[in-house]
A and B are shown apart, each in its own frame.
Chain A
């Protein structure tokens, strides 16, 4: 099984959930389809949905809710599904 690390496409503030009270979009162990929302990145008061780049299972999440990310910083690692690898 291969792993894919997904990175921030631009700098911004990372959010794991759609609103402060809501459930996290994804947690370690969750299955995701490519295109599923995995988090939000706020840049200049606009919110951009981050989409899973591959189908698989979330292996780890490298950043916390509300963290300030640099462009290219690792966000999470996905164990890529067999069919995709």
Chain B
């Protein structure tokens, strides 16, 4: 490989995940950290660590100048951005390469192209991948939007072209709402992303969110099947699984083949994910966006395919050709991931801060925990609330949900409240067991659950 000193520009569980992959590949791992993360698990496990600034992300994990200075200081040869923070910043990718290092991700031009949603839609159409009916590019003003909306159909979504992660989206049920919402969406987009371009998209109300994992070396791409990520709250994924209970073999093949076609069309190099909406009623799928990074929920794919995605991504980005062909990759069994957040589900998901006083991870067959927690760790209040990913594999879906319940029962964390209790109720839920849900299901379920019963004393204690 073309580098041996890997700088990891992230924190939390994903920094730990990349340190582990680096160790297994014989690379030297160097973790960047803010002043608030000096005693993080990633720092403890890495070969080296370097401080890049104060606690606030804008002054550390998002501070390109400070990161490049640290990279020079430690003699880094490659930079892994993880997810979030600068992972999809074309500017950062470009600056890393200009500084003579390898960026573990696709080229800056590709990040830019796929990061702009309107541009990504156009690219998908050219590659023959279906997209949600919508405006062919950004709409300039209200009059153009109203005209385009006649063809797209209501209800529709107004999306910031530069948005992502579920942010920068508004809905309009009819023309009056579109006229009212469009200027607001534009000024929000300008404030949040520095770009007021917005485009329109049909709002499919009962859609599933299904995404396809791909891996490519610039010449060739393979898919690693799909992930089902429909159980969301405020457009943030809560519970993911692979494969999807919604797809039959024919639909799965069509969906995954379209992802490979798009990846090869753009000459993609790295791990990446293509997100789709899937209409259960019609069996249609529509490409919505591409994420040009490793994703939070990558472990479910690793569990069912046996491919170590983080290691494979490092290999192709450090210059090795793709080590697998499509026929090597098969689905074995079923995997689910439960995101354990430091939030109180019985108190409006308010952040729950504190120190880890006692911690027992579940173990045994088919259980994997990706986390940066340890006993005595005090969580800094500055970053995301994700503290662990509990991943469970079993031979089939029904068994995986039973095993997930067993694993949750073994899990003990004292010091602050997490969303583990929510997952314990979810894996018993009849609709979840039937695999019968869409992207709005979890919020409805939460509304109903909170209306039906005030939390009992026992639940509050758990």
Q: Which residues of A contact B (CB under 8 A)?
A: 10-13, 19, 42-46, 48, 66, 68
Contact = CB atoms under 8 A, between A and B. Distances in A.
B411 interface: no
B317 interface: no
Given A42-B382, A44-B343, A68-B55, 20 more contacts: A10-B351, A10-B381, A11-B353, A12-B381, A12-B382, A13-B56, A13-B381, A19-B191, A42-B381, A43-B351, A43-B353, A43-B381, A44-B342, A44-B381, A44-B382, A44-B383, A44-B384, A45-B384, A45-B385, A48-B350
Given A19-B191, A44-B342, A68-B56, A10 B353 contact: yes
Q: Which residue, of A19, A45, A66, has the highest number of chain B Cβ atoms within 10 A?
A: A45
B351 A66 contact: no
Contacts of A42: 381-382
A67 B284 CA distance: 50
Interface in B381-396: 381-385
Contacts, number: 37
B56 A66 contact: yes
A75 to B, nearest CB: 15
A12 B351 CA distance: 11
Contacts of B351: 10, 43-44, 46
Interface in B126-174: none
Nearest to B342: A44
B189 to A, nearest CB: 14
Contacts of A13: 55-56, 381-382
Interface in B38-83: 54-56
Interface residues of B, number: 14
Contacts of B353: 10-11, 43-44
Nearest to B354: A10
A71 B385 CA distance: 18
7 contacts: A10-B351, A13-B55, A13-B381, A19-B191, A44-B384, A45-B383, A68-B54
Q: Which residue, of A12, A44, A46, has the highest number of chain B Cβ atoms within 10 A?
A: A44
A17 to B, nearest CB: 13
A44 B385 contact: yes
A12 B382 CA distance: 7
A11 B54 CA distance: 15
A46 B383 CA distance: 10
A11 B191 contact: no
Nearest to A70: B381
A48 B351 CA distance: 10
Contacts of B383: 44-45
A68 to B, nearest CB: 6
B418 to A, nearest CB: 12
Contacts of A10: 351, 353, 381
A79 B390 CA distance: 50
A66 B58 CA distance: 11
Contacts of A66: 56
A52 to B, nearest CB: 21
Closest 10 CB pairs of A and B: A44-B351, A44-B385, A43-B381, A11-B381, A43-B351, A12-B381, A68-B55, A46-B351, A10-B353, A44-B381
A54 to B, nearest CB: 24
Nearest to A19: B191
Interface in B369-387: 381-385
Nearest to B382: A13
B236 to A, nearest CB: 10
A68 B350 CA distance: 19
A10 B351 CA distance: 10
A7 B385 CA distance: 23
Q: Which residue, of B191, B343, B382, has the highest number of chain A Cβ atoms within 10 A?
A: B382
Contacts of B385: 44-45
Contacts of A48: 350
Contacts of B56: 13, 66, 68
A24 B54 CA distance: 24
B49 to A, nearest CB: 21
